[in-house]
Structure 1
């Protein structure tokens, strides 16, 4: 049985920046993918999820990649990607994601990661809102390498 969402059980740092930033972005006149309806949807989404609905530890993520042939998305800056990445990962930095959606497969799970899960959490929210099936590697690159899993350079 899944437990109801509780802010107390969520790590605060990945969500804090997003929650602080969304009201500002909703009022800005600059082009952004955070429109007022998106902000409202994100709020509804955050109010209904459970803590582990979309997070997978590195080993679980690797199994998802192997058995479900998930697309692996690295949202870190290009230099971080060049220094090492999950085998088969495609690098689309977070700030480029809205303009590069055509590069992502529809109808196939996506496993997203960044350095520690902060940017990946934002990518997950955005992509879920676009209709993609997305999962985040808990602790991102640090979680992957910490589990001793394979790395490509």
Structure 2
């Protein structure tokens, strides 16, 4: 039932941190950090691309359409919005469930 509600509301599919890392390592996806520059400076996922949510609409064309874009923020709320915006522009998107907090909790690398 939750899947139906997500589709009805237009929410992007979520992905767990370990699954996201596997997609990136396989070369099938990129992680897009949509947090503010200050948040990113404090901590970020190595190899992720930074494009703040406020700049997304004007700079989305710089993202690779041939790869899945895994949107990431602090907790998963802003990145859900980013994933929805990008999907409307023809990108294949996923939302990192729990944001960078879940990535860190899974013991995955951060800088």
Fold-level similarity (TM above 0.5)? yes
Q: Paired residue for 1:5? A: 4
| Greater Cα shift, 117-126 or 82-91 | 82-91
Higher strand residue share:
2
Larger Rg: 1
Aligned to 1:116: 75
**1:3-47 alpha-carbon deviations (Å, 9 max, x no partner):** 75136xxxxxxxxxxxxxxxxxxxxxxxxxxxxxxxxxxxxxx41
Secondary structure class of the residue paired with 1:150:
coil
Q: TM-score, normalised by structure 1?
A: 0.66
| Structure 1 Cα separation of the partners of residues 31 and 76 of structure 2 | 14
How many correspondences in the alignment?
Answer: 111
Equivalence map 1:29-68=2 (5 Å): 46-47=7-8, 54-68=13-27
Alpha-carbon RMSD: 2.1
- Does residue 146 of structure 1 match 2:80? no
Residues 100 and 146 (structure 1), Cα distance of their counterparts in 2 relative to 1, 3 Å cut:
same
* Higher RCO (C-alpha 8 Å, min separation 6): 2
Between 123-132 and 63-72, the greater mean CA deviation after superposition:
63-72
Segments of 5+ residues of structure 1 without an aligned counterpart are 8-45
* Unaligned residue ranges in structure 2 (runs of 5+): none
Residue 103 of structure 1: how far off its partner (Å): 1.6
Q: Detail structure 1 runs of 4+ shifted over 4 Å in the superposition.
A: none
Alpha-carbon distance between aligned partners in 2 of 1:48 and 1:83, rounded to the nearest angstrom: 33
Distance 1:148 1:6, change over 3 A: same
Once residues 68 and 54 of structure 1 are traced to their aligned partners in structure 2, the CA distance between those partners, rounded to angstroms, is: 19
Q: Does 1:74 align with 2:33?
A: yes
